[in-house]
Amino acid sequence: MKPTNQACGRGIKMVTKDTDIRNRRDTLVSEYISNPHLINNFKYDLRIYIVVTSYDPLRIYMFQEGLTRFATY
C-alpha cells in the first residue's frame, strides 16, 4: 500500500488484511506476485485510466490510451 501522490518511496507499507486498508483515501494497493510475467527478463506494468462518475446507475469512463512501464534492471 502506498500514497498516490508521487511519494517517491515514502509511506509504503506491507498489508496482509483488507481491514488494514479500509477507509483510506489517496492510496494505491498492489498485490505481490511471487512469479511475475516478464518481457525479455524485465518486469513491467500496464496502466489503464478510468473514472467512475456515478454508482447508481453505474457510469464508468475509460481513457482510450494507457501507459506501459518497464523496469531498467
Asked whether the beta carbons of 63 and 48 are under 8 A apart, the reply is yes
Q: Phi and psi (nearest 5°) for 28?
A: -110, 130
pTM for the model stands at 0.44
More confident residue, 9 or 60: 60
pLDDT for the residue 19: 64
Residues in the chain: 73
Which residue range is the domain that position 58 belongs to?
2-70
Q: How many domains does the chain have?
A: 1
Return left, alpha or beta for 20; rule: phi > 0 is left, psi -120 to 50 is alpha, else beta.
Answer: alpha
Q: What is the pLDDT of residues 20-66, one digit of tens each?
A: 666 667 777 777 788 989 998 888 888 899 999 999 999 999 999 99
